[in-house]
Structure 1
Amino acid sequence: MKKIFITVNDGSIARNILRSFVLEKIIQHSDVHVGLVTHADKEEFYRTEFGSDRISVFGILGRPLSFFERVLSYCIRNGLWTETILMDQRTHMEGRYVAFAAKRTFIYLFGKSKWFHAFVRRLFLLRAPSRAMEELFSREKPDLLFSTDVQIELDFDATIAAHKNNVPVVGMVRSWDNPTSRGGLVPYIHVVLLVWSPYIAEKMEYVQQYPRERIRLVGIPHFDWYVKDIIVPREEFFRKLGIDPKKKMILFAGIGDFHAPHEIEVLEIIARKLREGMIEDAKEVVLVFRPHPAFRFDENSVKRLGNVVFDSGISSYSGKDRSSWEMEQEQVVHLANSLAHCDVLVTTASTMTVDAAAFDKPIVCVAFDGKSQEPHWRSVKRYYHDYSHYIALSRTKGFAIAYTRESLITYINNYLDNPNLDAEGRERIRQEFIWKLDGHSADRVAHAALMFSRN
């Protein structure tokens, strides 16, 4: 029987892989046993949901990094030149001028160097796995490791344990922003690297200098939900939210205080304009706020607005912290229906722009700081001009970018009046950033995992 290990770092991986039909497709093969490798504090949670006679769950207790591992981590995070990493270095400088100057010097010297990237990848092979991970691989002897997030410590630990034990590793880029994010250089060359879209493939090849022949397009597995027969009638979904189904819906998808400290001020602007009748057919429009599951926000401020529907059915939590968020199947279905039935999506440089494009919904992205004036390196404006993935997404012209409160209301009104505006740009988003919406992305992922296993 083949034994396949799958890393599960957090709730987003559980949604992307375990609850998106990938696990289901793999386990359909009667000669396969799956081991989910996760953090110790998630072990019981995932065992309760997924554990069976053919699915084991292994919790790994984290450990402090050694001096060598910390140096290697610095090289990985600061040795890749991207607009995103440059801006993040500036945003998080916080008075540490010497550290900032060192990072800047480092990235300009080595960030585009093929030699340096190859050197870091050789250094990575000198890492030692944690004792817990080494014992797990020695005891269980898997035939394949499926590393579902190739830029995170849990996966680094599992990958080096697999390498030391001659276990092939199939990798996957976690999300569309990761090739250029502050996760930095992908330090290991896998037998095959699975990516969602042509955009990710291009960035892996030309920015990460990853061998093109190892990269395979698969699509977005959790987007398979979006083409399933899960969309309920508008009347049923609106009734669930307590909304009149005859009204148009503006869905405000929050990204939390960490990334957009003033987003509730922006929500307040829309709510006030709605009350004042400045939004087209205001009495026939409802504003729904969907918070980000992982980041904090001021819930009381949202509820005090009065004319905003607060959507609380977005996620569950395995622990007390918001970082323990999980999106279970019912909540994935709820998200799909939220997007299918909204008339305009408003968000701040989030992945929800791509989700909304999958449903061909008009999108307004916020590029101002509510009632405040932040310096550029802290302003949400920076996401559209200094973050590599949103620079590329903006070039599709598939959504409007609102730099002022006046333009925000104008764009919302334009889209409410004509939802076909920018439809060609949204099609470009689907082609470049989603690739295929055929319901078979999970099949392609599962097929790759099974193809490259050792037996």
Structure 2
Amino acid sequence: MFISVPHGTSAGNMLRSGGLLDHLLEADRSMTVVLLSPMSRDAAFVREFTRERVQFVDQPAHVPQGLEARLFSIIQASYLSRGQTESVRIRLAEARANGSIRALGLKAALGRLVVEPFTHRGSRYAISDWMVSHPDMERLFDQHRPRLVVAANPGLVFSEVPLLRTARRRGVFSMAIDPSWDNFTNKLVPVRQVDRLVVWNDIMKAQAMALHGYRAEAVRVAGAPQFDPHFRPHARTPRAEFFRRIGADPARKLIALTTTPRSLYSHHDHVLRALVPAIHGGLLDGAQILVRLHPRDDVNAYREFMNVPDVIIEKPFRDTVPVADGLAIDVMPEHQRHLGDTLCHADAVVNVASTITIEACIFDTPVVNISFDGPGETPFVRSAVRYYSFTHYVNITSTGAVKVATSPAEMVAMVARYLANPALDSAGRRQVVIDQCQFTDGRSAERAIQCVLDELGATGSRAAA
């Protein structure tokens, strides 16, 4: 059996959230599990998951070249030209403005002939999978002869493409168990069709079917495994202890600013220049700020705030080897617990259209979304404003769960309102949890693992037959 772990986030979500590896080894005591991961070069990762009958194989970066690249551009063009979601239309305009996508028309026309007919009859990638092979991966399949392939994502992580393509070429059953809530509506790359797709909720299932040709019976809804600890009250650190850990005062209000990758929003310094004066004599007087950096954010960008009173800056992750996209962060269980503690004990959360909004809603913690940029003019295709038209995030704003601030002053005023009345918009936050998490029992990892065990049993039965 092959399990792909392309980065630290998938390691946290797939391997650590419910003990997938041990469940598999227990279910079939004759089976060898091969972990394909760039973190096979990380001694700490290898030590953590070393077991009898577990092998580690590096997973190098993959960039389509030659024929594969040409075929991919046709597949991509045929998908983008349909403009099926508002997110795709906005991101396509952004890509055109950046000059990263050109000559869409001719390739899209060709794609309508040789790609789209396969979308609901197997895969958009059918011709590409037939014409392109990956010799190194073919040899790995020859060596281990897996009967099941488990990937993190249905083809949006390029380093997993050789694995998924080779599985398709050889008729090996494939699964994807860690897609995110925006994967089916927000990407400029169409997802691949795996044999079994495990998703968070019915919204994602409907998107996979409507936009990417999945059959209903191929998609199973399990919840979001990484959110499981958030639904376990015993997992929470007491407020006083948490505040000691971060160096804050438990008697005062805490505002958590959770950042995004700088490539997506580079104006958090502007945000802080509005929040800091507000906590020092302004509308938010007496509050304190915890700045939680995204794994892809740069701590050096916040140097001017490092020694500012009542401002705490943290990036709570483990360093690891660089993976295919350059990220060198691993997500450990203690990091997820720390995030849960942060969202539980914060009095308000501020971010730019982040997944953390959903997690804050689990704790009924108010959220203010940033919908403004730096001091200068920013075109729509590069502005934070665009994120609030994205298909997946409209499912948040439409519930009334969050306040969307269009200026620094409005942001400060909205945070102040929430600090004064934390019950404001609570009904909307409950609806977000119902819609996006779907399960609130803290057992989503168990369901996802059971999906894998079911397919392992089914592939064993097929092999015996």
What is the TM-score when the length of structure 2 is the normalising length? 0.88
Query: In 2, Cα distance between the equivalents of 1:326 and 1:299?
Result: 22
Aligned pair partner of 1:90 in 90, 93, 103: 93
After superposition, the C-alpha distances for 1:259-292 in whole angstroms (9 at most, x for unaligned) are 111122112211111113222xx22x21110010
Alignment of 1:74-113 (within 5 A): 74-78=73-77, 79-80=79-80, 81=83, 82-94=85-97, 96=99, 100=101, 102-103=103-104
Aligned pair partner of 1:372 in 372, 376, 391: 376
After superposition, the C-alpha distances for 1:68-125 in whole angstroms (9 at most, x for unaligned) are 21123223434143322322232233563xx7562367669969x9536357332243
* Secondary structure of 1:309 counterpart: strand
* Secondary structure of 1:93 counterpart: helix
The letter of the residue matching 1:54 is R
Number of residues of Structure 1 aligned to a counterpart in Structure 2: 444
The letter of the residue matching 1:438 is D
Pair 1:254-2:259 in alignment? yes
Partner of 2:215: 211
Alignment of 1:238-387 (within 5 A): 238-279=243-284, 282-283=285-286, 285-296=287-298, 298-312=301-315, 314-319=316-321, 323-385=327-389, 387=390
Partner of 1:162: 167
Query: In 2, Cα distance between the equivalents of 1:223 and 1:242?
Result: 25
The letter of the residue matching 1:261 is S
Report the alpha carbon displacement of residue 183 of structure 1 after superposing the two structures with TM: 4.8
After superposition, the C-alpha distances for 1:372-402 in whole angstroms (9 at most, x for unaligned) are 33111111001002x2211222212211110
Query: In 1, Cα distance between the equivalents of 2:109 and 2:293?
Result: 37
Deviates more, 1:116-125 or 1:249-258: 116-125
* Secondary structure of 2:353 counterpart: coil
The letter of the residue matching 1:21 is G
Partner of 1:390: 393
> Can you give the 5+ residue segments of structure 1 that lack an aligned partner in the other structure?
none
Extract structure 1 runs of 4+ deviating beyond 6 A.
107-111
Distance 1:234 1:158, change over 3 A: same
The letter of the residue matching 2:262 is D
Distance 1:167 1:400, change over 3 A: same
Distance 1:95 1:245, change over 3 A: closer
The letter of the residue matching 2:153 is D
RMSD of Structure 2 on Structure 1 (CA): 2.5
Distance 1:267 1:315, change over 3 A: same
What is the TM-score when the length of structure 1 is the normalising length? 0.90
Partner of 2:428: 425
Is contact 2:259-2:293 (8 Å) kept? yes
Is contact 1:8-1:38 (8 Å) kept? yes
* Secondary structure of 1:169 counterpart: strand
Query: In 2, Cα distance between the equivalents of 1:227 and 1:344?
Result: 19
Pair 1:199-2:196 in alignment? no
Pair 1:442-2:445 in alignment? yes
Report the alpha carbon displacement of residue 242 of structure 1 after superposing the two structures with TM: 1.2
Same amino acid, percent of matched pairs: 25
Is contact 1:288-1:308 (8 Å) kept? yes
Pair 1:59-2:91 in alignment? no
> Can you give the 5+ residue segments of structure 2 that lack an aligned partner in the other structure?
461-465
The letter of the residue matching 2:437 is I
Report the alpha carbon displacement of residue 349 of structure 1 after superposing the two structures with TM: 1.0
Query: In 2, Cα distance between the equivalents of 1:215 and 1:404?
Result: 41
Is contact 2:396-2:402 (8 Å) kept? no
* Secondary structure of 1:17 counterpart: helix
Query: In 1, Cα distance between the equivalents of 2:71 and 2:305?
Result: 43
Query: In 1, Cα distance between the equivalents of 2:236 and 2:248?
Result: 17
Report the alpha carbon displacement of residue 46 of structure 1 after superposing the two structures with TM: 2.9
Alignment of 1:13-162 (within 5 A): 13-23=10-20, 24-29=22-27, 31=29, 32-39=31-38, 42=41, 44-62=43-61, 64-78=63-77, 79-80=79-80, 81=83, 82-94=85-97, 96=99, 100=101, 102-103=103-104, 115=117, 117-118=119-120, 120-150=124-154, 151-162=156-167
Query: In 1, Cα distance between the equivalents of 2:71 and 2:210?
Result: 22
Report the alpha carbon displacement of residue 141 of structure 1 after superposing the two structures with TM: 1.4
